[in-house]
Chain A
Amino acid sequence: MAVIEVNGLHKVFRTKAKEPGLRGSVRSLLRPAYSEVVAVKDISFAVEAGELLAFIGPNGAGKSTTIKMLTGILNPTAGTAQVLGLVPWEARRQLAYTIGSVFGQKSQLWYHLPALDSFRLLGSIYEIAGRDLAKRLDQVVELFELAEFIKTPVRKLSLGQRMRCEIAASILHRPKVIFLDEPTIGLDVVAKLKIRELIKRLNEEEKTTIFLTSHDAGDIEQLCKRVIVINHGEIILDTSTSYLRHNYLTTRIVNVKFAAPCPELRLFHAEILKHTEKGVKFRINTRFTSIEEVLGELFAQADIEDISVEEPAMEEVIRDIYGRPAGEGEQHAAG
């Protein structure tokens, strides 16, 4: 059963256009001119109950505008959408009781107070009865492993701990659908892994449908079975994550630090981007070669002190999708 259904959703913003300089400012005061920006262009998709969907794209692609329309914050210019059987912009308040949202850089926690205070406040805002709230708090604290710092003022928490609290705060009312907008933004590797693990548990244990936007290819690969790629307001790919992984998320940038100077290095299966006596940076394409194979070559020639692997940037993935022959980058059945 689809919990989110979107048909021909379209959003055009009208923004004030102003010519530069003093003359432009005066003219804009007397005769304001407007230009139209198409933020979301006629998109259609459906999300099934219990699905963990990645909705990805570069900055300004239309991700946040889509989420704002699906949470009822914005009215579309055209098209229809239903979330849990409700039209979001017509029944925003009613829908708010059944959905949750986390916007990576916007906090819903009170900065000087322990997260527990904010949780209790949100319990009141969502009108959860006292005993039920206490029971739910226990569950959430256990699920997100918050016991250690739930009574610490939010300002003293690390970014990772704060994000765990943010997500926990958004599921207190047991939402059926949760919108996570860049939940791992700015987190270090360890905190990212923890957040991913918790999102996965939330999806598996509470059967919550998760609509995730992220710039981080790792989030998508490790969490989602299906991915929708949006760019310039249009859906350019709707496919399974495994399809995306095998066809687009194939390049890796590897940074290697040598334990001893290695002036000579030959890698037959990688493109060397930078090589000094102290280290090397190279690109590999996992479609044609495995990381193990390249590392094997590397270990045979140098003593290695440290290795780090970078995933491809979202912009690179988008470029790759556009770069493929016609038909290959079009909507691809998810599965």
Chain B
Amino acid sequence: MQLVSGGAWRKYFKVAEISFTNRIVYLADHFASSIFLILILFIFSQLWKTVLGPSEEIAGLNSTAMLWYMLFTEMIALSTPRTHHLVSEDVKSGDLAYKLVRPCSYILYYFAVYGGEFIIRAVTNLTVGSAFAHLAGGPLAVDWSKLGWVLLGFVLAAAVNFLVCFCVALLAFWLEETRPFFWILNKMTFIFGGLLVPVEAYPEGLRRISYLLPLRYSFSAPARLVVNFDYSLLRQMLAGQLIWAVLLASLAALMFRKGVRRVHVHGG
């Protein structure tokens, strides 16, 4: 059989494509779930208008910019597929074994599944959310020449977020239940990811902890970049995202190798 050149990588794009196509079936559901985003944005748009008024700012962002900031952090949070739960289930149910018989990397396969689904969710959330933010808070001044950098930041943000969730999911190799850890991660994301307020507005102690964690590179940093583009923030964000992506990918690979060895000992 003739093998395709460059197929080793092309297969993962194909997986992402099919994951995207598969989610089209749920397009109406995705739009419906965007109602939750509108609800959050509505509540916080009222809050920021009251607290900040027409001239006050938080971490350099006025009430309109805060609304758009929140749209982008929530867009990432709500667009994150539950792929990590599939990974936990694979490990717990033993289905992992059946996935290993294919000639592809387990981690990259799920990253591609995650990527395909993330895109469709992000597009629906962004469409609905930006229409609301435009009406409720006014337009966002977009510098289209910087769009490429912003998109790169969002791709890396999604990758870091995937890797954090994937590492937590792989704990299933050692622990029977990973849900409590996802609950903790979710709460940490709210605070240290800067889901509601940019981490730069935090008191010194909280800000320091946030700077030590990967979460703000998945939420706060890219959202801040899109509402208030700045090259020094871009450089710092990309460096942080790349470092965390490499560290977390290495950790995920190590955990996976050790975990699979455990399956060999304890059974599928």
Contacts and interface: CB of A to CB of B under 8 A. Distances in A.
Contact of B100 (A92, A110, A126, A129): A92
Interface in A89-141: 92-93, 96-97, 99, 101, 103, 106, 108, 110-113, 117-118, 120-121, 124-130, 132, 136
Nearest to A153: B25
Contact of B265 (A13, A118, A129): A13
A15 B18 contact: no
A103 B1 CA distance: 24
Contact of A127 (B7, B101, B264): B7
A13 B267 contact: yes
B22 A112 contact: yes
A174 interface: yes
Contacts of A121: 14-15, 18
B177 to A, nearest CB: 13
A92 B1 CA distance: 19
B266 A13 contact: yes
B102 A39 contact: no
Contacts of A110: 18, 22
Contact of A74 (B18, B21, B22, B264): B264
A210 to B, nearest CB: 16
Nearest to B6: A127
Contacts of B103: 93, 96-97, 125-127
A132 B266 contact: no
Contacts of B101: 71-73, 92, 96, 99, 101
Contacts of B4: 124, 127-130
A75 interface: yes
Nearest to B17: A121
B98 interface: yes
A226 interface: no
Interface in B121-177: none
Interface in A20-76: 37, 39, 65, 68, 71-75
Nearest to B105: A93
Contact of A73 (B3, B11, B25, B97): B97
A117 B21 contact: yes
A108 B101 CA distance: 11
Given A15-B267, A132-B2, A124 B102 contact: no
Nearest to B24: A112
A238 B14 CA distance: 44
A74 B263 contact: yes
A68 B97 CA distance: 8
Contacts of A126: 1, 103
B95 A124 contact: no
B179 to A, nearest CB: 18
A113 B22 contact: yes
A124 B266 contact: no
Nearest to A99: B101
A257 interface: no
Contacts of B98: 73, 101, 103, 106, 108
16 contacts: A13-B265, A14-B266, A37-B267, A73-B101, A74-B263, A92-B100, A93-B103, A101-B98, A103-B98, A111-B22, A112-B25, A117-B21, A125-B103, A128-B1, A128-B2, A128-B4
Interface of A: 13-16, 37, 39, 65, 68, 71-75, 92-93, 96-97, 99, 101, 103, 106, 108, 110-113, 117-118, 120-121, 124-130, 132, 136, 173-174
- A-B pairs, top 9 by smallest CB distance, nearest first, are A127-B7, A124-B14, A96-B103, A13-B267, A129-B2, A75-B264, A124-B11, A129-B4, A112-B25
